[in-house]
Amino acid sequence: FLSKKIENTGSGDQAPGLEGDMRKLRILCLHGYAMSAEKFSGRTGSIRKGCKSIANFEYVDAPHVADAAWVNHTNDSLSLAWWNMQEESSRPSISRHYRGATQSLDKLKEHVDINGPYDGILGFSQGASCAALLCARCPKDFKFGIFISGFVPRDAEMQRILENAQNTTVISRSLHAWGLKDQLVPENKTKELVEYFESEAAAISCYSHSGGHFVPSNAEFRKLIKRFIHQELDVQQNS
């Protein structure tokens, strides 16, 4: 299953205060491992609120149940995955063998083709890596991306997707964020992913926060994301 959960963050579908009342941008949002669309929507609530006048965020559930041995399943919440690890005790950022990743990418592409077009994509942790793979696979589907605590997949097949797209413009504008105290996806792992987005035509922004493995909600980051998204509105307005 890949169900869609749409978050309309403001009244109407147009961004106020812009010439011609341009429509709000649409951003596809991918949650992390052992999360769900609903959980990720909650964890990004402050970001959505700060951008409610310029963007709609749309969340989707991953198609697999997270089956790592350490996942604590409860009856009142879903724990989903874009892929599982062949080694049941492993974690997404260190496993070298994935199960279900290709299926997830296929389902996401189908979702985008049916429900798009989207302007941007946002992902956290495994969701950020999945978003990067989708951008590399389908470089024309998104104009910008926001990748929080992302990492380069260590599965050989998934790595090849990024490698085949390297030195091309995977996406024209990207924002990458990470926590300096992140023990699950250390800073150097996220910076490795940033390198795959580098090209002469690409504009890359980076942000680090003092915390661990989570979506930052401090005022500085909220303002940065709003400014980053608003730049896309300016591009569309002037094109």
* Residues taking part in catalysis: 125, 182, 213
SS3 state at 204: strand
**Cβ-Cβ contacts under 8 Å for 5 (sequence gap 6 or more):** 37, 38, 41, 58, 59, 60, 61
Token pair in block for residue 74 = 């409860």
| Residue from 106, 110, 68, 73 nearest 90 by CA | 68
Q: Which residues pair with 35 in a beta bridge?
A: 80
Q: What's at 132, amino acid-wise?
A: A
Nearest alpha carbon to residue 55 among 111, 3, 109, 122: 122
Max Cα-Cα span within the chain: 54
| Helix H or strand E encompassing 209 | strand 203-209
**Could you tell me if 151 and 210 are in contact, meaning their C-beta atoms sit under 8 angstroms apart?**
no
Q: Which candidate, 62, 63, 59, 61, places its Cα nearest to that of 26?
A: 59
